[in-house]
Every structure is written in C-alpha cells, then in structure tokens.
C-alpha cells in the first residue's frame, strides 16, 4: 500500500495503517533525528510524538506532497520543541557538535558536490549547524534559534556569514 493510501486509512482510524507507516518510516526518521540530537530519550520521544501527530493530523493532510517530507517536517519540529524544553547546558568544547555524515553521504557529496562539500567543510561548526538547520532541515530562523539555543539574530548573522564564505569559496 502506498503512503498516501496509508494516510487516508489512518484518517479513517486504521491502526494497522499507522503501524505500517511507522514500520516504513521510523527507522530513517530516527537516524536523521539522531544526527541532530545526541540524547536517545529525546529522539525516541520526538519519534513517538511524530506518529501521534500523524495519527491526529492524517485527516488534515492535503495530499499535495510526499508523505516522508510531511513526516520529517513534523519530526524536526517536535525535536525542536523537545530540545527547547530541556535544561540548558554547554558541551565541553562550548560549541555544537559538528555535522556527522554517513560514509555513503560523504562519498556522494565528494562525487557530486565536491566544491560545495569542500566549502562547507571549511566552515566553523557554529556556521555548519545554522546551515544544516535552515537549509537542509528547512527550519525557519525562529525554529533554528530554538533548536540551536541561540538568539534569532545570531542565526541570521551566522547564516549571512556562511553565505558570504560559501560565495567566496565557490567563486
């Protein structure tokens, strides 16, 4: 059964359709969420809340996009909310963890986007985190600020700096 049919079934209250959707999408969602948050409990809670939201919101899904993208949008926003509620702490180094890509992603980036990958890898971890949150995850400035626990103005400033450095490196 296709994802769109599963969503329609979930909207009708079909728990088996939700179980199928979960089985199909939970593994990759968990991996992507784990790359954004090192706390397994927060990741598990975000994942659970994602599928609760899918259950509750299936009837409102417009059907004009990819179900996986819809689920990712829910998941990353749930993660942002959960991270924002956690007590604030600093890592030992005082900076966010760097972006960790799988070996396959690193190879693909190296082959398809060598210049961009090289330019991105030259950015500081603070700038990479902002680029990842706003560009790759599609978060708004406000959402990225909550996820990264920095002011919105800092997100804007870091993004402007990252764009300038990337433009220079790619020109």
pLDDT of the residue at 97: 44
Whether pLDDT at 98 is above 60: no
Q: Tell the residue number behind the tokens 């693909």, with chain if given.
A: 108
Tokens of 10: 């979930």
Predicted confidence band of residue 99 (pLDDT cuts 50, 70, 90): very low
How confident is the model over 72-86, as pLDDT tens digits?
Answer: 889 988 988 888 777
Lowest mean pLDDT among 25-34, 65-74, 81-90, 109-118: 109-118
CATH class of 103-170: mainly alpha
CATH class of 3-85: mainly alpha
Percentage of the chain with pLDDT > 70? 84
pLDDT of the residue at 91: 43
pLDDT of the residue at 128: 86
* CATH 1.10.1740.10-classified regions of the chain: 3-85
* CATH 1.10.10.10-classified regions of the chain: 103-170
Select from 125, 129, 105, 133 the least CA-distant residue to 117: 105
Q: What is the DSSP string of the chain?
A: --HHHHHHHHHTT-HHHHHHHHHHHHHHHHHHHHHH---HHHHHHHHHHHHHHHHHHGGG--SSS-HHHHHHHHHHHHHHHHHHHSPP---TTSSPPPP---HHHHHHHHHH-HHHHHHHHTS-HHHHHHHIIIIIS---HHHHHHHHTS-HHHHHHHHHHHHHHHHHHH-
pLDDT of the residue at 90: 44
Average pLDDT over residues 42-61: 93
CB atoms within 10 A of CB 65: 11
Average pLDDT over residues 116-141: 83
């Amino acid at each position: 059964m296709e994802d769109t049919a599963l969503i329609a079934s979930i909207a009708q209250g079909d728990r088996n359709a939700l179980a199928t959707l979960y089985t199909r999408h939970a593994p990759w969602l968990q991996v992507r969420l784990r790359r954004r948050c090192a706390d397994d409990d927060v990741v598990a809670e975000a994942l659970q809340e994602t599928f609760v939201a899918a259950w509750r919101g299936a009837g409102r899904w417009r059907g004009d996009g990819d179900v996986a993208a819809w689920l990712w949008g829910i998941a990353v926003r749930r993660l942002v909310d959960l991270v924002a509620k956690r007590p604030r702490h600093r890592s030992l180094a005082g900076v966010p963890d760097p972006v960790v890509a799988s070996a396959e992603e690193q190879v693909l980036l190296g082959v398809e986007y060598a210049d961009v990958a090289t330019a991105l890898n030259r950015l500081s971890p603070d700038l990479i985190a902002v680029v990842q949150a706003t560009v790759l995850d599609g978060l708004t400035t406000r959402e990225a600020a909550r996820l990264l626990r920095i002011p919105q103005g800092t997100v804007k400033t870091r993004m402007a700096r990252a764009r300038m450095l990337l433009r220079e490196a790619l020109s």
